[in-house]
Amino acid sequence: MPRKQKRPVVEPIRRKCVGCGKVKLVTYREWYIPPVEKETFVSGADSRKSRLDIPGATVRNYCSSECAVT
């Protein structure tokens, strides 16, 4: 019986684009993780922890990579 392979796909969400300020479907993201927290994240055994759980981590949402460039 063939198994369906499920890829980890980024959920299509609508957020305010940092580039143009419009609420659009996010296709591009930029993560900012504090160096100290990043170290904790890497060395920590709990690798299942999402980046969203890291205090101080922020994400910028863009509707396209073009908005991210500006």
Sign of CA dihedral 19, 70, 35, 11: positive
Using a 10 angstrom Cβ sphere, with 0-12 exposed, 13-18 middle and 19 or more buried, the burial of residue 56 is exposed
**Alpha-carbon gap, residue 39 to 41, rounded angstroms:** 5
Contacting residue, 26, 41, 61, 67, with Zn ion by CB under 5 A: 67
Site string for Zn ion, 22-61 (x = CB under 5 A): ----------------------------------------
Of 15, 16, 20, 28, the one binding Zn ion by CB under 5 A: 20
If the CB atoms of residues 17 and 41 are measured against Zn ion, the closer one turns out to be: 17
Residues of this chain that bind Zn ion (CB under 5 A): 17, 19-20, 63, 67
